[in-house]
Amino acid sequence: MNHSLQWDIFCKVIDNFGDIGVCWRLAANLATRGQRVRLWVDDASALAWMAPEGCEGVRVLPWNAPLDLSDACLEQQPPDVLIESFGCEIAPEFIAACAYQTSVKGLKPVWINLEYLSAEPYVERCHALPSPVRDGPAAGWSKWFFYPGFTEATGGLLREPGLLEPQARFDRPAWLATQGIAWTGEKLVSLFCYEPDALPGLLRQFAQHGLDGEPVRLLVAAGRAASAVKTAFNDEIRLLRNTHGHKLLSISYLPLLTQMEFDHMLWVCDLNFVRGEDSVVRALWAGRPFVWHIYPQGDAAHLDKLEAFLDMLQAPPSLRSFHRVWNRKSAGPGPLRTPPPNLPAWQACALAARSRLMAQDDLCSRLLGFVAKNR
């Protein structure tokens, strides 16, 4: 596609900032490829720390009810592409305005329903299927399901062009110094999680044995991960004493990080604990050993999703076992015991998976091709 299109992306912030994180990366990625983007979001407050410098070519607009279209300039810049992210429904007044512009100018926008990421088989079956719109001002149009995924038959993964070049020349000690971390050669482990029942056991393991027999410096992300670690220490007095006695575990609590700095954290660590959709993709691109805390669902459907992901990853037995414990609820009193990490096997797995996925087109490239085909 050799010309700029107008993209309107709609995002509802549910919790944990994963939705706005994905939508911002998507919007910025499109803009760096010469596209024009309006990002409509009901709560943009996280962007103040996630992307404080913004991005040229991206306008962030409030998604209120009713939607205020006065600043959108729809008459001068009607949308060429509509994206409703993660099952949200675009404001009806916006659809009505789009339908009017279509009646005047005669070109319907490509309407895309951007779905959640999964490695499960249904993703290939459902990707790129149309869904007819049967009523309302857009009756007769079609929505298209667009599923991110890990195979050529899906929508791919978000990835910036040339991502590996800055990563290859990244200065690990310099970055740690900018975060105020006095690194003395410990194994670096990042922690970005919800509240896993296995966390106290993992902290105890690090405190007693380190990682591969070496001391651990734990870099804890702000928010739920930091609260979970502090709660674990408050509940585990012996762990606190043991940590001070053996000095095998030291902890650095990080501030809220921009998306770029979050990526940098993943690049510098020997082992990354990540959660949700955006961060697991960034962990894949980091090429470091990682453990995914998948978003827990009440009906345990997330465990099937986890197994499909581990199959895609071609995870070795030790990595599968660790994931299953990390994502399990404790059946009784006391913390779950995590098996010891196997960094060499996990590193080989991460690099092999990254190599396979890097050989595929990224999500934005596939979106641009899809839109060009369906306009």
pLDDT at 1: 44
| Whether residue 363 has pLDDT greater than 90 | yes
Task: Report which of 112, 65, 62, 131 is spatially closest to residue 93, judged by C-alpha positions.
Answer: 65
pLDDT at 112: 98
Per the structure block, which two tokens stand in for 326?
């990390």
pLDDT at 241: 53
| Whether residue 30 has pLDDT greater than 50 | yes
Q: How confident is the model at residue 3 (pLDDT cuts 50, 70, 90)?
A: confident
Q: What is the pLDDT of residues 106-135, one digit of tens each?
A: 789 999 999 999 999 999 999 999 999 999
**277 catalytic residue (yes or no):** yes
| Whether residue 236 has pLDDT greater than 70 | no
Residue 84, helix vs strand vs coil: strand
Task: Report which of 350, 284, 340 is spatially closest to residue 316, judged by C-alpha positions.
Answer: 350
| Whether residue 228 has pLDDT greater than 70 | yes
Q: In angstroms, rounded to a whole number, what is the distance separating the alpha carbons of residues 226 and 372?
A: 44
Percent of the chain with pLDDT over 90: 80
Catalytic one of 186, 236, 277, 278: 277
pLDDT at 45: 96
Q: What is the pLDDT of residues 56-83, one digit of tens each?
A: 999 999 999 889 898 888 878 889 999 9
Residues 277, 192 contacting (CB under 8 angstroms): no
Per the structure block, which two tokens stand in for 83?
């994206």
**212 catalytic residue (yes or no):** no
What average pLDDT does this structure show over 235-251?
64
For 308, 326, 334, the CA distances from 225, given in Å and listed in that order, are 25, 14, 19
pLDDT at 72: 80
Q: In angstroms, rounded to a whole number, what is the distance separating the alpha carbons of residues 316 and 320?
A: 6
What average pLDDT does this structure show over 79-95?
94
pLDDT at 246: 56
Q: How confident is the model at residue 267 (pLDDT cuts 50, 70, 90)?
A: very high
Catalytic one of 8, 19, 84, 362: 19
Rounded to the nearest integer, the mean pLDDT of the chain is 92
Complete domains list, the chain, with CATH: 6-157+361-374 (3.40.50), 164-358 (3.40.50)
| Whether residue 156 has pLDDT greater than 70 | yes
More confidently predicted of 104 and 29: 29
Q: What is the pLDDT of residues 271-330, one digit of tens each?
A: 999 998 999 999 999 999 999 999 888 777 889 999 999 999 999 999 999 999 999 988
Residues 110, 133 contacting (CB under 8 angstroms): no
| Whether residue 355 has pLDDT greater than 70 | yes
Q: What is the pLDDT of residues 187-200, one digit of tens each?
A: 999 999 999 999 99
pLDDT at 351: 98
| Whether residue 335 has pLDDT greater than 90 | no
What average pLDDT does this structure show over 324-346?
87
pLDDT at 203: 93
| Whether residue 350 has pLDDT greater than 90 | yes
